[in-house]
């Protein structure tokens, strides 16, 4: 079931990429808990290793359970191919790896998940890569930050944790003018609420650890390629357009066309960086994926109700939920998020840092956890945890100031969640 563009999202989230197991007829995708695959003969092995034939060699590169997940997520995002990885952070490295050389840079939004800010501002420097942080709403600043050495623009669709909604179409236009890909982290929106490719993104990355698996059980990530970028239009992307010495001079773009990025991700990225997803985690993620739309509808409905309640409470200074009528992003939400603006947001508590710490210590139903996108409701004080490594200025820019807590609204009864926040706020603010 690979070419089925006429099916709707609810159908595709269950069926895309999967078929009854050819060996046993098993209807659910089996967990191929397996590392190596028997070659038919020496010629078959040689053809696989030369990338002349597609098949399974070794699970660091490809695995049948992981392959189903890749096809399912590529389909849900409207891409042509996907590479699953061990985590969302691995997916970000895998997205940049084919594009970047030492001395190159990527222009990134200053409103990003805290772990990504650290990965980009510190760790990638060791590869000789640089991230240039900009206000992604300032088109002039984004444009000016792009130099000859800039190989991509990176942003989040709805930024974690501050709920900033990126104007994807205008950012994509800048990327087009500069001849570079736009990479969008769509973790907090999910493909059910937003398809960045439809708004001009070249590559989409996810931490599937969050809403896509949905139950807080499995780490994972994915890079999805739109298949729309012309890697040979300039000399900027030699890994994709020039002869690859590790494959006897094969040119990925010339040989694999719109699948060049995906083939490179598997044949070079997974092969040599090794950040592959485990089949067990792919299975759990596929299970979660089957109910993604149903869960997102409830996540959104609960988040809206709770955000509205918080907004009207005296103990709260402000609520950043992009789905509120009062949100500065309301117009963008109307255009890009017809089914809702997710279920992750922050609110500022009167009483600052101390009140926030007291609040997370006083909740009973919410869990104090550094995760999001779980069935359970989660709460965290970003400034003392996920965004602790950042300077106060970076915290503020990322929407994680000291007086702010982040909630990931789960699937429980909204009234129970409101009661829990109410009692905890009484203890925290008094």
CA distance 112 to 183: 13
Write the CB contacts of 415 (distance below 8 Å, at least 6 apart in sequence): none
Q: Where are the beta strands (DSSP E) in 81-176?
A: 81-85, 105-109, 130-134, 150-156
Options 83-91, 170-178, 280-288, 404-412: segment touching ligand PLP (CB under 6 A): 83-91
Q: Which of 75, 166, 162 is nearest to 114 (CA)?
A: 162
Binding positions for ligand PLP, 379-418, rule CB under 6 A: none
Given candidates 79, 81, 88, 214, which one binds ligand PLP under the rule CB under 6 A? Answer: 88
- Classified as helix, coil or strand, 27 is coil
Query: Binding of ligand PLP at residue 210 (CB under 6 A)?
Result: yes
Distance, CA of 253 to CA of 134 (rounded, Å): 31
25-44 binders of ligand PLP (CB under 6 A):
none
- Full DSSP string of 318-332: EE--TTSTT-TTHHH
Residues 235, 246: Cα–Cα separation, whole Å: 19
Residue in the block written with tokens 């915290």: 395
User: Which of residues 161 and 227 has its CB atom nearest to ligand PLP in the complex?
Assistant: 161
Question: Using CB under 6 A, which residues numbered 318 to 377 contact ligand PLP?
Answer: 372
Q: Considering the complex, state which of residue 204 and residue 349 has its C-beta at the smaller distance from ligand PLP.
A: 204
Q: What is the C-alpha to C-alpha distance for residues 54 and 59, in angstroms, rounded to an integer?
A: 14
* Residue 116 touching ligand PLP (CB under 6 A): yes
Site size with ligand PLP, rule: CB under 6 A: 17
Pick from 145, 141, 136: nearest CA to 184: 136
- Which range, of 5-13, 133-141, 182-190, 299-307, touches ligand PLP by CB under 6 A? 182-190
Stretch that binds ligand PLP, among 18-26, 183-191, 274-282, 286-294 (CB under 6 A): 183-191
**Min CB(206)–ligand PLP separation in Å:** 8
CB of 269 to ligand PLP, least distance (A): 16
Tokens of 329: 């992003």
Quick one: 159 or 421, whose CB is closer to ligand PLP? 159
Closest residue to ligand PLP, based on beta-carbon distance: 88
Nearer to ligand PLP, 207 or 346 (CB): 207
Q: Does 209 bind ligand PLP (CB under 6 A)?
A: yes
Nearest distance from C-beta of residue 186 to ligand PLP, angstroms: 9
Residue 207 interacts with ligand PLP (CB under 6 A): yes or no: yes
Token duo for residue 331:
């117009």
Q: Is there binding between residue 87 and ligand PLP (CB under 6 A)?
A: yes
Closest CA to 385 of 25, 62, 113, 32: 113
Query: Least distance (Å) from ligand PLP to the CB of residue 258?
Result: 26
- Residue 276 CB, shortest distance to ligand PLP, in Å, is 14
Question: Residues 212-241: x/- map of binding to ligand PLP (CB under 6 A)?
Answer: -------x-x--------------------
Q: Which one, 260 or 322, has the nearer CB to ligand PLP?
A: 322
Nearest residue (CB) to ligand PLP, 202 versus 241: 202
Residues 377 and 365: their CA atoms lie apart, in Å, by 8
Window 117 to 176, contacts with ligand PLP (CB under 6 A): 156, 160
The kind and range of the H/E element at 354 are: helix 352-362
Nearer to ligand PLP, 160 or 293 (CB): 160
Q: In what order do the strands lie in the sheet with 367-368?
A: 316-319, 344-349, 404-408, 378-380, 367-368
Query: CB neighbours (10 Å) of residue 315?
Result: 18
CA dist 142 and 108 (Å) reads: 9
Q: In the complex, what is the shortest distance from the CB of residue 337 to ligand PLP, in angstroms, rounded to a whole number? A: 16
Q: Which stretch binds ligand PLP (CB under 6 A): 1-9, 207-215, 325-333, 402-410?
A: 207-215
Angle between helix axes 292-311 and 414-429 (nearest 10 degrees) is 40
Tell me how far, at minimum, the Cβ of 147 lies from ligand PLP, in Å.
25
Contacts with 122 (C-beta within 8 Å, 6 or more apart), sequence order = none
Instruction: Give the Cβ contact number of residue 60 at 10 Å.
Output: 15
The region of 33-41, 185-193, 254-262, 298-306 touching ligand PLP under the rule CB under 6 A is 185-193
CA pseudo-torsion sign 31, 33, 35, 39: negative
Residues near ligand PLP (CB under 6 A) = 87-89, 113, 115-116, 156, 160, 185, 187-188, 207, 209-210, 219, 221, 372
């Amino acid at each position: 079931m690979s070419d089925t563009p006429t099916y709707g999202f609810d159908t595709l989230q269950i069926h895309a990429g999967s078929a009854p197991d050819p060996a046993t007829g098993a209807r659910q995708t089996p967990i191929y808990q397996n590392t190596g695959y028997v070659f038919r003969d020496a010629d078959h092995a040689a053809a696989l290793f030369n990338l002349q034939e597609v098949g399974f060699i070794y699970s660091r590169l490809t695995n049948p359970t992981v392959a189903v997940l890749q096809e399912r997520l590529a389909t849900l995002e409207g891409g042509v191919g996907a590479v699953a990885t061990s985590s969302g952070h691995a997916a970000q490295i895998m997205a940049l790896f084919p594009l970047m050389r030492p001395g190159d840079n990527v222009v990134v939004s200053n409103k990003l998940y805290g772990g990504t800010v650290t990965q980009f501002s510190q760790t990638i420097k060791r590869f000789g890569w640089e991230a240039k942080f900009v206000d992604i709403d300032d088109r002039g600043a984004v444009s000016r930050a792009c130099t000859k050495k800039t190989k991509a623009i990176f942003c989040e669709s709805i930024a974690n944790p501050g709920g900033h909604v990126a104007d994807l179409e205008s950012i994509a236009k800048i990327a087009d003018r500069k001849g570079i890909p736009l990479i969008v982290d769509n973790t907090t929106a999910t493909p059910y609420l937003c398809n960045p490719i439809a708004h001009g993104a070249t590559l989409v990355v996810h931490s599937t650890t969050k809403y896509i698996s949905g139950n807080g059980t499995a780490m994972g990530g994915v890079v999805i390629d739109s298949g729309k970028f012309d890697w040979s239009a300039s000399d900027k992307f030699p890994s994709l357009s020039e002869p690859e010495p590790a494959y006897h001079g094969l040119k990925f773009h010339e040989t694999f066309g719109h699948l060049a990025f995906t083939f490179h991700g598997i044949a070079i990225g997974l092969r040599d960086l090794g950040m592959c997803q485990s089949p067990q985690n792919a299975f759990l993620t596929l299970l979660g994926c089957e109910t993604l739309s149903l869960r997102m509808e409830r996540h959104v409905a609960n988040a809206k109700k709770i955000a509205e309640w918080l907004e009207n409470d005296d103990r709260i200074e402000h609520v950043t939920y992009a789905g509120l009528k009062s949100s500065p992003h309301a117009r963008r939400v109307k255009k890009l998020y017809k089914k809702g603006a997710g279920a992750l947001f922050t609110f500022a508590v009167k009483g600052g840092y101390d009140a926030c710490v007291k609040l997370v210590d006083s909740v009973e139903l919410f869990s104090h956890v550094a995760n999001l996108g779980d069935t359970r409701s989660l709460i965290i004080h970003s400034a003392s945890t996920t965004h602790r490594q950042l300077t106060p200025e970076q915290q503020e820019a990322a929407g994680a100031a000291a007086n702010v807590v982040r909630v990931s609204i789960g699937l429980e009864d909204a009234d129970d969640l409101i009661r829990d926040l109410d009692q905890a706020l009484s203890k925290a603010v008094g």
